[in-house]
Each structure stands twice: as structure tokens, then as C-alpha cells.
Amino acid sequence: MPHTLEWKVRLHLFEDEEGTTKARLTLDTGTRELTGHGSAHCSPADVDVPEIGDELAAGRAMNDLARQLQKTAARDIEGMGAPQPHGREAAGWPT
């Protein structure tokens, strides 16, 4: 049976008072919401290029969200009675 879903992703980027770029990435699956966080800070010796801070903070938030999503999937698989995953494979599902 075909399976099609649409998940919504929202990315919020902002700079705090210390000059750190922060990212909050929210994934809404319709049944669950996960939020990833990331940050980036320009070294005083570097040229200030805001786009680079945005990219780093957003990428780090995406990595955080990806780890959470994989852990959630592993818990769901375990909840189905599958054995604990070993290494990078979750109950026969390569990750």
C-alpha cells in the first residue's frame, strides 16, 4: 500500500546579545513534534559573515534533530518487540 505524508519543518534563526547565532528547528509530523537546536559564534579574529553563522547554526540544529529522530525511531522499533539494535543498524533497518 502506498504511503505518503507531509511533515512540516520550521527554522528560526536569531542572534543573541553576545553575538551568538542560534537556530531552532522544529519538525511537526502531525502526531509528534521534535525540536533541534544549534549555535555558532564568530571568532574575534574572523571576518563577520552572518550567512556563515546562519549556515553553521542551522546545520547543527539539523544534526541535533536528526539524532533525536533516529533515537525516536529506535525506541518505536523496540516498542514493537524488535531486539535492541547493534552498531548502526536498528532492527535490520540500516541507518
Residue 41 domain-assigned? yes
27-68: pLDDT as tens digits: 999 999 999 999 999 888 988 899 999 999 999 999 999 999
Decide if 19 is inside a domain. Answer: yes
Q: How many domains does the chain have?
A: 1
- How is 38-56 classified by DSSP, letter by letter? EEEE--TTS---HHHHHHH
Tell me the pTM: 0.82
Q: Distance from CA of residue 84 to its chain's centroid?
A: 23
Q: Is the confidence at residue 24, as pLDDT, over 70?
A: yes
Task: Give the per-residue pLDDT at 80.
Answer: 86
CATH of the domain at 40: 3.30.160.240
Does residue 82 belong to any structural domain of this protein?
A: no
